[in-house]
């Protein structure tokens, strides 16, 4: 059964109900493979995300970080053998380029591991995402990028929705005509387990240009 977690960002640690769900879902804890969003950055990359798991008492036998210190072929083997894959937060565009350069996306899609992503990582897990100046990217022209496509929807993660609802709805309206978009701020999560979708925190669904707040189920 596929299990995917699309996370926002957590200033402290995972809420208890999220920790409980992760403890139940992550049964195999042989290896955690983290994929950098800043692959040239080697110091402390992934330390925050790993601390969330440590605090939730989810401890793995082995930890690996895929960045440019890791050769492409080695990175692919790590993904194939991973118990859990965690796409780290940071620079969405850099991570997207890195995923393509190292040809990791198809391997992640085929993996039976639990796949998690925080902020940029969650965005890149989705089918498509909008790169726009209004959404915080340093670009002049808006573009729609392909993500890994673990699930057939788009994600906007870790964005100040509460103060920008109208802007977000307007920006994402064209894409929402093609697929559902799950938009969230910090301390939020969307869990896909099989065909079931669970919601934690303030998560909004944008579909057919309409926006609605979803009820928490996690």
Residue appearing with tokens 């591991």: 113
The pTM for the full model equals 0.96
pLDDT value of residue 205: 96
Residue 57 has pLDDT above 90, yes or no: yes
- The two three-digit tokens of residue 7, written as one number: 């996370």
Of 87 and 40, the one with more pLDDT: 87
**What is the rounded distance in angstroms from the CA atom of residue 86 to the CA atom of residue 198?**
19
> 97: how many CB neighbours lie within 10 A of its CB?
14
Q: How confident is the model at residue 63 (pLDDT cuts 50, 70, 90)?
A: very high
Provide the sign of the torsion angle of the four alpha carbons 6, 39, 94, 103, taken in this order. Answer: negative
**What is the rounded distance in angstroms from the CA atom of residue 38 to the CA atom of residue 174?**
29
Residue 43 has pLDDT above 80, yes or no: no
Q: Which helix (H) or strand (E) holds 102?
A: none
Beta-carbon contacts of residue 22 (< 8 Å; ≥ 6 apart): 5, 14, 53, 56, 58
Domain ranges of the chain: 3-213
pLDDT value of residue 11: 86
CATH number of 3-213: 3.40.50.880
- The two three-digit tokens of residue 13, written as one number: 């640690």
- The two three-digit tokens of residue 153, written as one number: 């929807």
- The two three-digit tokens of residue 44, written as one number: 């402390």
pLDDT value of residue 9: 94
């Amino acid at each position: 059964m596929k299990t995917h977690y699309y996370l926002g960002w957590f200033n402290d640690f995972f809420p208890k109900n999220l920790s409980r769900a992760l403890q139940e879902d992550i049964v195999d804890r042989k290896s955690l493979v983290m994929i950098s969003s800043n692959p040239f950055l080697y110091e402390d990359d992934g330390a925050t995300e790993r601390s969330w798991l440590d605090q939730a008492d989810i401890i793995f036998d082995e930890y690996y970080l895929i960045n440019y210190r890791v050769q492409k072929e080695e990175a692919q083997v790590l993904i194939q053998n991973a118990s859990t894959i965690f796409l780290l937060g940071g620079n969405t565009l850099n991570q997207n380029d890195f995923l393509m350069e190292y040809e990791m996306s198809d391997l992640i899609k085929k993996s039976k591991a639990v796949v998690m992503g925080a902020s940029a990582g969650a965005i890149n897990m989705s089918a498509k995402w909008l790169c726009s100046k209004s959404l915080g990217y340093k670009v002049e022209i808006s573009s729609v990028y392909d993500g890994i496509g673990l699930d057939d929807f788009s994600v906007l993660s870790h964005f100040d929705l509460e103060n920008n609802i109208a802007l977000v709805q307007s920006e994402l309206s064209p894409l929402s005509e093609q697929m559902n978009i799950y938009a969230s701020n910090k301390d939020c999560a969307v869990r896909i387990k099989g065909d079931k979708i669970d919601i934690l925190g303030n998560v909004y669904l944008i579909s057919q240009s309409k926006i609605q707040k979803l009820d928490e189920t996690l």
